[in-house]
Amino acid sequence: MLDSFIRHPFMSRTGEPACSARAFVEAMCRVEIALARVQEDACLLASGTAARIEGQLDVDAFDMDALAADSADGGNVAIPFVKQAKAQLEPALRGDFHRGATSQDIVDTALMLVLKPRLNRCLALLADCRRDGLALMDRHVDTVMIGRTLMQQAMPITFGAKVAHWLWGLAQAEQRLAQTTANGLFVQFGGPVGVHTGLADNGLDLMDALAAELGLTSPMLPWHTDRQPVLALGDALGAVAVAAEKIALDVALMAQTEIGEVSEPATTGAGGSSSMPHKRNPVGCARIRAAARQVHAAVGLLHNAGAQPMERGLGEWHAEWAPLVDSVLLAEGALETLQQLLSGMTVHPDRMRYNLALTGGAIFTGPATDLLSKHIDRERAAELVQQATASARESGGGLADALLAQPEVAAVIGDAALRAALDPAAHTGAGAAHVERVRIALSAF
């Protein structure tokens, strides 16, 4: 029950039931039936064997509590699973069940089967995020705001350009995950020590056929202690977590009371406080970041367990299971919230304009000096701009007004020219081109 308070709030509520104990047992049954089928096709088993096994195996007949209890004794669930499965079969079939396979073959392949639909849903959510993000980006191509570096005001950008950068980071992560899901979910079949013992003439062909039967990718070789497939999947999920967390972090910072440039939609949560009812906390951003941090930790554990001894991991393989499943469910949960965030975010352009004026125009001292130095000595121009900036900050007025109040400036620069040069919209660089480039790139996805 404690998991419902400390783990599950950050995982996909759709994905968790699909990764239940029953789902995993069902996946192991699928692997064993498929293995019998390809062996039957290779004339290693009598015709009809696979169908008879399928007809006699009943997922609901497995004792889940006993499987859980006995997994510790055997080191993995496949050992008690095979024992219970054989007990369901007629004696004549028991020798044909699990032939040529080892526990790791069943566990690794079942994990791929269980996780594949979840990864496909992650990709569907990423596509939704891309669609909603593009709409948000297009609405704010010309919405000017302050850009910040080292958490301080720097120079103007557009909110559209900020969203474009968010989306391209997310798109790169989506590409990695799509590639791994399409080509990196490998079947596992190598037998006791990974060299298809007893199947010298058929081992690799059976491995390839088993992959095709289950809709997985066939590896070059069995990967019992070559954990590159797991690392590739973990790294792809880590990239998704980073991209999602980047957006959540920016949104949370922009939603601070003192900044107030965006607000989370109500769909991400009520955002209340147990002691301060006036607060509207960015709980969606918090969920995304909490999930992402746990994905990063899980991926680190996968790397830590990546180098495994000899022909079977001594605890390393076993240590992968939970972080691998958790990282998928956490990424899926983060993307569920991110989609809500991008589709329903409230943007406050008026507050963005207000924040642009907070420094009294200090952010435009460079452009102002450049303009004024066309008419007077640059050193003197810089001095006048510094004086005007200090005056604007003290009075709460604008830099243009403070500059024009100086006779030396008013004598050489007209009001309209100066205000045009200090318009924030004139200093957003190639932001519009960034938006267009991302729009074109994402339209090809």
H or E element: which one contains 438?
helix 431-443
Residue 273 is a catalytic residue: yes
Residue 266, number of CB atoms within 10 A of its CB: 13
DSSP assignment of 98-155: TTT--HHHHHHHHHHHHHHHHHHHHHHHHHHHHHHHHHHHHHTTT-EEEEEETTEEEE
Q: How far does CA 384 lie from the centroid of its chain? A: 50
List all residues 6 or more positions away from 51 whose beta carbon is below 8 Å from its beta carbon: none
Select from 119, 258, 133 the least CA-distant residue to 177: 119
Give me the catalytic one of 20, 22, 139, 273.
273
Q: Are 330 and 288 in contact (CB under 8 A)?
A: no
H or E element: which one contains 404?
helix 399-404
Q: Are 233 and 323 in contact (CB under 8 A)?
A: no
Give me the catalytic one of 312, 353, 393, 419.
312
Residue 343 is a catalytic residue: no
Distance CA 218, CA 203 (A): 12
Which residues participate in catalysis according to the annotation? 273, 312
